[in-house]
Amino acid sequence: MVVLTNIGLLATPLGSGPAAGDCQGEISLAQDQVLWIDGPQICGIYPRQKAPAPPTGATVVDAQGLLVTPGLIDCHTHLVFGGWRQHEVPLKLRGASYLEILQMGGGILDTVRQTRQWSEEDLYTRAVSFLDDMLRLGVTTAECKSGYGLSLSQELKQLQVQRKLQQTHSVEIVSTFLGAHAVPPEYEGRSDAYTQLVCQEILPAVAQGHWAEFCDVFCEEGVFTVSQSRKILQTGQELGLASKIHADEIAAIGGSQLAGELGAISAEHLIAISPEGIQALAAGGVIADLLPATSFYLKKPYAPARELIRQNVPVAIASDFNPGSCPSYNLQFAINLAYLYYSMTPEEILTAVTRNAAASLHRSHKIGTLEVGKQADLVIWNAKDLQTLCYRFGSNLVHTVFKKGKIV
């Protein structure tokens, strides 16, 4: 038993499932609390005056009057990859766009070349170092997308690394299959044929081996069309994989409408989303997974978070960590950007990186809020209130991280 005493402010959303509209900002802010942990689970939360004496043998941890929140959940990353892409930045600064670099065989395809060459062991070792650092930054669960293999064996190699991370690392990993992340060089100019390969060979193997829970597609101008994306996501659904979609990152070609039509769990990016796209997400009950650090790094506009909230679309916020459009896994920085550029309130932001992120990973029953019966994934912050967390940037404000009831 662990008893966490002297919590200055316990800030947490309450309940399960995604919170939309005004509910996104309705969280519990309780001062002077004590939290009891039994094994991996929270078993009691009390105001200090009403807290029973700690049971004999309990480990008492003093939270020093600081802020405590649920552990952060990064619900969109691409964290298993070989190499880096630092050589792209000068091209970008000379005016080349993200899609132009991809069309020249660079971008995602550059990382595909490097990832194919790296051994499973090397990919694993480096991903572990990323996750160690993410944990220090307060992230206790992370989604991880494949998509740098783009062939059956290479996608399975990447998914195997993700499975090993799942089995060995304190950060819980949720796997998403993103075989349709780009058209591989062997299929250049034949995106329909690659779509067919994904549907007929790769996806069935991924489903059969239970390699991923979700299926994602990069639905974008010059990458996968809406009709190709529909085929892939529908095939995934038939095989038991829930849908996610990279939609409206650069151009609004109908990805959000497709997300609504298919009842995707989340539509991700949405920088260029149209009013019709927003309505489709609201009608389909789709979570908007927004990635402000990608807007920052691509020098693009910020997704219309306020409008999404106004129209009752639940908003989650994630890092999008990848070697091209966002070489940072610092979710605290994404929080700062959401505060300043999405104009979200600290309360809405907390919901976005905990409860709504959990919902977008089908993990609402277990994580995302601090309530009796939920997993004891939490962060003690070097801050007294949520506003400070959103305001300070560039340094790590984490004091202590608990994962499944243990200090990590």
Q: Which of 244, 246, 355, 403 binds ligand NIG (CB under 6 A)?
A: 246
- Is 231 or 246 the residue whose CB approaches ligand NIG more closely? 246
Query: What is the number of other CB atoms lying within 10 angstroms of the CB of residue 160?
Result: 17
- Is 70 or 179 the residue whose CB approaches ligand NIG more closely? 179
Does residue 79 interact with ligand NIG by CB under 6 A? no
Query: What is the number of other CB atoms lying within 10 angstroms of the CB of residue 146?
Result: 30
Residue 301 exposed, middle or buried by CB count within 10 Å (0-12, 13-18, 19+)? exposed
| Rounded distance between C-alpha atoms, residue 375 and residue 217, angstroms | 31
Cα 385 to chain center, whole Å?
24
- Is 182 or 203 the residue whose CB approaches ligand NIG more closely? 182
One-letter amino acid at 18 equals P
CB of 326 vs ligand NIG, minimal distance in Å = 6
- 289-308 residues near ligand NIG, rule: CB under 6 A: 294
324 binds, among Fe ion, ligand NIG, none (CB under 5 to 8 A by kind): ligand NIG
- 88-127 residues near ligand NIG, rule: CB under 6 A: 107-108, 111
CA within 13 Å, CB half, 118: 25
CB of 78 vs Fe ion, minimal distance in Å = 6
Stretches 22-30, 154-162, 230-238, 317-325: which one binds ligand NIG (CB under 6 A)? 317-325
CB of 32 vs ligand NIG, minimal distance in Å = 42
Query: What is the number of other CB atoms lying within 10 angstroms of the CB of residue 210?
Result: 12
- 322-341 residues near ligand NIG, rule: CB under 6 A: 322-325
Query: What is the number of other CB atoms lying within 10 angstroms of the CB of residue 97?
Result: 15
CB of 76 vs Fe ion, minimal distance in Å = 6
CB 289 within 8 A of CB 316: yes
CB of 115 vs ligand NIG, minimal distance in Å = 10
Contacts of 3 by beta carbon, 8 Å cutoff, 6+ apart: 34, 35, 36, 37, 54, 58, 59, 60, 61
CB 288 within 8 A of CB 314: yes
**Binding-site size, Fe ion (CB under 5 A):** 1
C-alpha distances in angstroms, 219 versus 14, 178, 222?
34, 11, 9
CB of 110 vs ligand NIG, minimal distance in Å = 8
**Binding-site size, ligand NIG (CB under 6 A):** 13
179 binds, among ligand NIG, Fe ion, none (CB under 5 to 8 A by kind): none
- Is 123 or 397 the residue whose CB approaches ligand NIG more closely? 123
266 binds, among ligand NIG, Fe ion, none (CB under 5 to 8 A by kind): none
Query: What is the number of other CB atoms lying within 10 angstroms of the CB of residue 407?
Result: 11
Closest residue to ligand NIG using C-beta atoms: 324
Does residue 320 interact with ligand NIG by CB under 6 A? yes
Does residue 213 interact with Fe ion by CB under 5 A? no
Which DSSP letter does residue 26 get? Answer: -
Concatenated DSSP letters of 359-379: HTTT-TTTSSS--TTSB--EE
| Rounded distance between C-alpha atoms, residue 70 and residue 14, angstroms | 11
Q: Mark 302-331 with x for binding to Fe ion (rule: CB under 5 A) and - for no binding.
A: ------------------x-----------
CA 194, 198, 200, 205 torsion: positive or negative?
positive
- Is 220 or 320 the residue whose CB approaches Fe ion more closely? 320
Query: What is the number of other CB atoms lying within 10 angstroms of the CB of residue 15?
Result: 15
Residue 26 exposed, middle or buried by CB count within 10 Å (0-12, 13-18, 19+)? middle
Query: What is the number of other CB atoms lying within 10 angstroms of the CB of residue 185?
Result: 11
323 binds, among Fe ion, ligand NIG, none (CB under 5 to 8 A by kind): ligand NIG
Q: Mark 192-221 with x for binding to ligand NIG (rule: CB under 6 A) and - for no binding.
A: --------------------------x---
149 binds, among ligand NIG, Fe ion, none (CB under 5 to 8 A by kind): none
CB of 302 vs ligand NIG, minimal distance in Å = 14
- Is 321 or 339 the residue whose CB approaches ligand NIG more closely? 321
Closest residue to Fe ion using C-beta atoms: 320
Query: What residue ranges bind Fe ion (CB under 5 A)?
Result: 320
Query: What residue ranges bind ligand NIG (CB under 6 A)?
Result: 78, 107-108, 111, 218, 246, 249, 294, 320, 322-325
